[in-house]
Homo-oligomer: A and B are copies of this chain.
């Protein structure tokens, strides 16, 4: 997919619905991918995102050391890759190769974009005060990339134990809420 730059002020619309993400890191010459569902928006602009990365995950070490990552948003066509990345460890497996994912260079961070995802957010770690207690990172989105038709993306939403809700239709109501 060929992505275009996307306004940082609109990033919340990508993450608020709660999609499963593929978090990429690069550390000591190796890129890695992990599946993540525990994240929330924390500020509109610059966009801040809070997320939990288990201390057992290979990505935890990379994210803590490099303070950089990319949050990639997969859609339902990537369900097998999402589960595959969640069931393997980067310690043993090159997940890009194992699951046929294409790493693309980011513009501001060393971690790669995933070409097959409809949106990718380049991030840096800006707050680690809750890291020791909860493995909770606060990220700032530095640059956002999206496909043209991202609004129709059938995102995946984890229900646990291999069950994923696939995004359904969008309804619109008159609202003053941003």
Interface residues of A (CB under 8 A from B): 10, 12-13, 16-19, 35, 37-43, 48, 50-52, 76, 79-80, 83, 86-87, 127, 129-130, 133-134, 136, 138, 151, 154-155, 157-178
Contact = CB atoms under 8 A, between A and B. Distances in A.
Interface centre among A12, A17, A38, A43 (most CB of B within 10 A): A17
B164 A173 contact: yes
Counted per complex, copies of this chain come to 2
B16 A17 contact: no
A47 to B, nearest CB: 11
Given A37-B16, A129-B130, A162 B177 contact: yes
Contacts of A16: 18, 37-38, 157-160
Given A19-B18, A42-B52, A136-B42, A162 B172 contact: yes
Interface centre among A40, A80, A130, A136 (most CB of B within 10 A): A40
Contacts of A155: 165
Contacts of A165: 17, 155, 167-170
Contacts of A10: 160
Contact of A18 (B18, B133, B138, B169): B18
Give the 9 A-B residue pairs with the shortest CB-CB distance, closest first.
A18-B18, A168-B168, A162-B175, A17-B157, A40-B40, A13-B160, A86-B177, A83-B173, A166-B168
Contact of A167 (B41, B79, B160, B168): B168
